[in-house]
Amino acid sequence: MYVVTELWRYPMKSMQGERVAATTIDAQGFVGDRGRAVVDAQTGKAASGSWAARRWADLVTWSAAYVAEPGGSDPIPEVRVTSPSGERFTVGGPDDDAMLSRHLGRDVRVAVGQQDDAMSGNHPPGTFWDVAPIHVLTTSTLASLAALAPGSAFDARRFRPNLVIDTGGDPGFPENDWLGSMLSIGSDVRLRITGDCPRCVMTTHAQADLPKDNGILQAAARSNASNVGVYAEVVRSGQVYVGDGVRVIREAEVSGAR
């Protein structure tokens, strides 16, 4: 059996996230994940690594953390953001747009969830995820990439996963073989793996203590068609904890149980 080794949520889309010991997963993914976003006032689009990556390259050098645990009566609490220079301020008040605009050097506003349709696509209210509610990454994939490019730091933070799963000594990219399968996590949660996760240039940008490194994306392109990790949808909600066991229910078993 595999084990959950890291849990990550991202209070502000495209900023660095926060590592947590436990979280609630509902139909939309991790509660509070990508609950807010910086929106370009000129284009009306939320800042995202999936488009205009060069324009928003600096945003990943910022970090964000909730001031209170999301959920219940306050599903999207205020967010404390930290600039690259170390300046901290709280996002959730009426003056946030002007403050962030000054710091980012462009006219922006802060959006909460899908309340103003800042993202294209049919995403649930209260989220800003691009393709799927959850991104899963394994330690085997990180180790395989590191072996191919030993001079690069293949830190999970570059790939912005929600779940990092310790797959022990499994070789290669084991999550590639999970497409269509179900992950049973702990006593409650069930996730269905829905597709590969193609990566973009945002993975190469400097953030926190990680330097800019074009070798990150080059290694993924050479070895795994630029895919790092997989996407998942929620089949059964519940609590998940670091240390939870993970069992892969193969596609044939899933089909047979219907």
Q: What is the pLDDT of residues 132-169, one digit of tens each?
A: 999 999 999 999 999 999 999 999 999 999 999 999 99
Query: pLDDT tens-digit profile of 90-102?
Result: 888 767 888 888 8
pLDDT of the chain along its 258 residues, tens only? 999 999 999 999 989 999 999 999 999 899 999 999 888 888 888 877 655 556 677 888 999 999 999 987 777 899 999 988 898 888 887 678 888 888 888 899 888 875 555 554 445 665 788 889 999 999 999 999 999 999 999 999 999 999 999 999 999 999 999 999 999 999 999 999 999 999 988 899 999 899 999 999 999 999 999 999 999 999 999 999 999 999 999 877 766 555
pLDDT at residue number 105: 84
Tell me if 56 sits within 8 A of 103, measured CB to CB.
Answer: no
Enter the pTM of the model: 0.91
pLDDT at residue number 138: 98
Closest CA to 213 of 158, 139, 132, 137: 158
Closest CA to 192 of 236, 151, 257, 240: 236
pLDDT at residue number 120: 46
> Which residues make Cβ contacts (< 8 Å) with residue 224, sequence separation at least 6?
141, 145, 173, 176
CA distance 244 to 61: 31
Alpha-carbon Rg of the chain, whole angstroms? 18
pLDDT at residue number 185: 98
CA distance 114 to 125: 5
